[in-house]
């Protein structure tokens, strides 16, 4: 009971759904500052289990928050539809093991798999590939579940996949094969989408095809009761720093995205891309936005009246007045850089309850309390 009182005294969760997507350096100062505000969700990319201690401390400090992990798997080459899907999934699962080293599955709420289309390029626009990918994910999700993890499927690129009737009359949404395979499972699962924007547009109707495309996927695939994580969110390539975007302009868009996500009960949280990577993804680095994000998490504005989706006219991709028209391809980080490299987790059962998290992490409670009394405000490695 003393452990429970101590953890609860560390503060409740933010009302915002924004949280950090942490890459490369789990002890990044700006990531720690944001994590200390107890976001509802935090995502880490793991290469060799180096995220374990940071996740443990976050669990203690912010009981009830969701943890997402993605393992940075470097495939020698993508799989092909001529490869058996189940064998390919087993191969991918084996390649994930080094990134899961030292991680107790009970600390992880959602475990992501392949990032966007790294495992099978083109699955979002090709029905044959989409069907293969459904078999792949069905097997991979079973492997995750057998090891105690809750799978988070998809990592869908921004502006993808092909929607219903997009390829030909009566064609299905190309996430449907994966969705149908997963809905047949007897265990809990979730899915993920990457909410990138080319120009930080806040026109609700236009963004239903891009940043908010997850709503159309949800509706067309019957996923209204399935948890979703916006596991990457950012200004698309070349990134907000390279484009010269001001802090206030970026925060206006993030506040807008947060408000829309808070309207959707299925959205667990948003992983803001990115913290910690000062090389490959430096133009997306959110260190300069640390103060604004901390202030937002402490006191997020109320979302206000939600937009009416019934008021939106059907979009015309040839209309030059569209604020952010679909491009027929993903609109994420681009330039060969893999944005969602550190992410996994899932929130079900004991792992999401305060009492269970504390029981699992009791060895960390007293050291954390001592550090707080001494005035330290960063995660120690």
273 located within any domain: yes
164 located within any domain: yes
- The pLDDT score that the predictor gives to residue 359 is 43
46 located within any domain: yes
Pairwise CA distance, residues 66 & 44, whole Å = 11
170 located within any domain: yes
The answer for residues whose C-beta is within 8 angstroms of residue 340's C-beta and 6 or more apart is 21, 45, 70, 112, 115, 116, 155, 194, 231, 232, 271, 273
Local structure of residue 193 (DSSP, 8 states): E
- The pLDDT score that the predictor gives to residue 374 is 36
- The pLDDT score that the predictor gives to residue 49 is 86
Pairwise CA distance, residues 147 & 183, whole Å = 20
- The pLDDT score that the predictor gives to residue 19 is 98
- Overall number of domains in the chain: 1
378 located within any domain: no
Q: In CATH, what number is assigned to the domain containing residue 167?
A: 3.20.20
Count Cβ atoms below 10 Å from residue 225 Cβ, excluding itself.
Answer: 9
137 located within any domain: yes
- The pLDDT score that the predictor gives to residue 154 is 97
- The pLDDT score that the predictor gives to residue 329 is 58
Q: What is the pLDDT along the chain (381 residues), one digit of tens a residue?
A: 344 334 444 459 999 999 999 999 999 999 999 999 999 999 999 999 899 999 999 999 999 999 999 999 999 999 999 999 999 999 999 999 999 999 999 999 999 999 999 999 999 999 999 999 999 999 999 999 999 999 999 999 999 999 999 999 999 999 999 999 999 999 999 999 999 999 999 999 999 999 999 999 999 999 999 999 999 999 999 999 999 999 999 999 999 999 999 999 999 999 999 999 999 999 999 999 999 999 999 999 998 899 998 999 765 544 444 444 444 456 787 644 444 332 223 333 333 344 444 444 444 433 433 333 333 333 332
Nearest to 254 by CA among 39, 23, 66: 39
- The pLDDT score that the predictor gives to residue 370 is 36
Nearest to 59 by CA among 31, 28, 35: 35
Domain that holds residue 86: 2-373
């Amino acid at each position: 009971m003393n452990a429970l009182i101590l953890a609860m005294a560390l503060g409740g969760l933010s009302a915002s759904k924004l949280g950090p997507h942490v890459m490369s350096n789990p002890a990044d100062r700006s990531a720690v500052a944001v994590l200390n505000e107890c976001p509802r969700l935090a995502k880490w990319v793991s290469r060799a289990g180096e995220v374990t201690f940071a996740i443990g401390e976050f669990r203690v400090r912010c009981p009830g928050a969701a943890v997402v992990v993605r393992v940075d798997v470097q495939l020698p080459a993508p799989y092909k539809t001529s490869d058996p899907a189940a064998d390919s999934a087993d191969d991918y699962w084996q390649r994930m093991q080094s990134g899961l080293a030292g991680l107790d599955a009970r600390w992880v709420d959602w475990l992501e798999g392949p990032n966007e289309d790294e495992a099978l390029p083109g699955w979002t626009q090709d029905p044959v590939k989409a069907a293969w990918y459904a078999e792949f994910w069905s097997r991979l999700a079973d492997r995750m579940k057998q090891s105690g993890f809750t799978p988070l499927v998809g990592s869908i690129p921004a502006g993808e996949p092909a929607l219903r009737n997009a390829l030909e009359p009566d064609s299905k949404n190309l996430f449907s094969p994966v969705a149908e395979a997963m809905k047949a499972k007897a265990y809990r699962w979730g899915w993920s989408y990457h909410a990138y924007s080319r120009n930080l547009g806040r026109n609700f109707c236009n963004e239903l095809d891009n940043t908010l495309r997850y709503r159309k996927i949800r509706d067309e695939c019957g996923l209204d009761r399935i948890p979703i994580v916006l596991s990457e969110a950012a200004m698309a390539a070349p990134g907000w720093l390279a484009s010269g975007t001001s802090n206030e302009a970026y925060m206006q868009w993030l506040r807008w995205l947060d408000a829309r996500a808070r309207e959707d009960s299925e959205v667990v949280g948003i992983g803001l891309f990115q913290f910690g990577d000062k090389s490959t993804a430096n133009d997306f680095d959110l260190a300069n936005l640390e103060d604004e994000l901390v202030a937002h998490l402490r006191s997020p504005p109320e979302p206000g009246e939600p937009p009416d989706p019934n008021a939106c006219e059907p979009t015309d991709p040839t209309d030059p007045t569209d604020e952010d028209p679909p491009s027929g391809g993903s609109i994420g980080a681009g330039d060969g850089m893999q944005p969602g490299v550190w992410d996994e987790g899932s929130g079900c059962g004991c792992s999401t309850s305060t009492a269970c998290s504390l029981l699992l992490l009791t060895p960390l409670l007293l050291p954390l309390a001592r550090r707080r009394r001494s005035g330290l405000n960063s995660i120690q490695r």
